[in-house]
């Protein structure tokens, strides 16, 4: 079953069970996917892959993390908590995130094979763990390892 189908099925179930927060978040995700599909149709491309949907989900989760920071700084803890609840729902559809230790181990392996340039290292690590890690985390680890 595709990721999009899974989200649509969960939306139907959440509507039946009257879970308003979950319905709201899933509708927002579907809307983001539809917007991207419309853009793709304009470019003459076919339906989105699960990998592209994961990218959209990560983007939406990142927006929530940024909002949490802003709400916390502004003293709006109730709004920050709502964003945290939304992230929990979004993360259900994201692949399991890779640990920092596994990233560091892979970076060490690449360095031992002679790769010492920041850009190529970043590209190789991000390609290997595509959709399963945040670029900020990778950047910090790579910078730490090469100097």
Which CATH number does the domain housing residue 82 bear? 1.10.1510.10
Rounded to a whole number of angstroms, the distance between the first and last alpha carbons of the chain is 44
pLDDT score, position 115: 80
pLDDT tens string 71-111: 999 999 999 999 999 999 999 998 888 888 898 898 888 88
Residues 109 and 59 in one domain: no
pLDDT score, position 87: 94
As a whole number, mean pLDDT of residues 135-145 equals 86
Taking the C-alpha atoms of residue 21 and residue 107, their distance in angstroms, rounded to an integer, is: 39
Taking the C-alpha atoms of residue 87 and residue 63, their distance in angstroms, rounded to an integer, is: 9
Helix axes 135-146, 100-112, angle to 10 degrees: 40
**Token code pair at residue 110:** 């690449």
Q: Is the pLDDT of residue 126 over 90?
A: no
Residues 86 and 38 in one domain: yes
As a whole number, mean pLDDT of residues 110-125 equals 85
Please report, to the nearest 10 degrees, the dihedral formed by the alpha carbons of residues 32, 37, 43, 49 taken in order.
Answer: 110
Residues 39 and 77 in one domain: yes
Residues 70 and 10 in one domain: yes
Residues 31 and 58 in one domain: yes
| Structural domain boundaries enclosing 123 | 100-146
Residues 86 and 24 in one domain: yes
pLDDT score, position 81: 96
pLDDT score, position 8: 94
Residues 81 and 33 in one domain: yes
**Token code pair at residue 7:** 């989200």
pLDDT score, position 114: 82
pLDDT tens string 7-62: 999 999 999 999 999 999 999 999 999 999 888 887 877 778 888 898 899 999 99
Residues 71 and 26 in one domain: yes
Residue 94 is classified by DSSP as S
Domain count across the chain: 2
H helices, E strands: number in the chain:
7, 0
Taking the C-alpha atoms of residue 23 and residue 99, their distance in angstroms, rounded to an integer, is: 30
Residue 94, classified by CB atoms within 10 Å of its CB into exposed (0-12), middle (13-18) or buried (19+), is middle
pLDDT score, position 71: 96
Q: Collapsing DSSP states into helix, strand and coil, what is residue 143?
A: helix
């Amino acid at each position: 079953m595709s990721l999009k189908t899974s989200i649509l099925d969960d939306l139907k179930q959440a509507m039946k069970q009257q879970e308003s927060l979950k319905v709201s978040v899933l509708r927002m995700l579907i809307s983001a996917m539809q917007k991207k599909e419309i853009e793709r149709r304009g470019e003459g491309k076919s339906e989105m892959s699960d990998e592209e949907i994961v990218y959209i989900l990560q983007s939406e989760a990142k927006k929530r993390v940024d909002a949490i920071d802003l709400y916390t700084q502004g003293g709006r803890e109730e709004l920050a908590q709502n964003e945290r609840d939304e992230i929990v729902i979004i993360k259900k559809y994201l692949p399991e995130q890779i640990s920092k230790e596994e990233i560091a181990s892979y970076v060490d392996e690449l360095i031992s094979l002679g790769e010492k340039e920041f850009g190529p290292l970043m590209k190789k690590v991000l390609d290997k763990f595509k959709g399963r890690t945040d670029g900020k985390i990778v950047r910090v680890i790579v910078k730490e390892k090469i100097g």
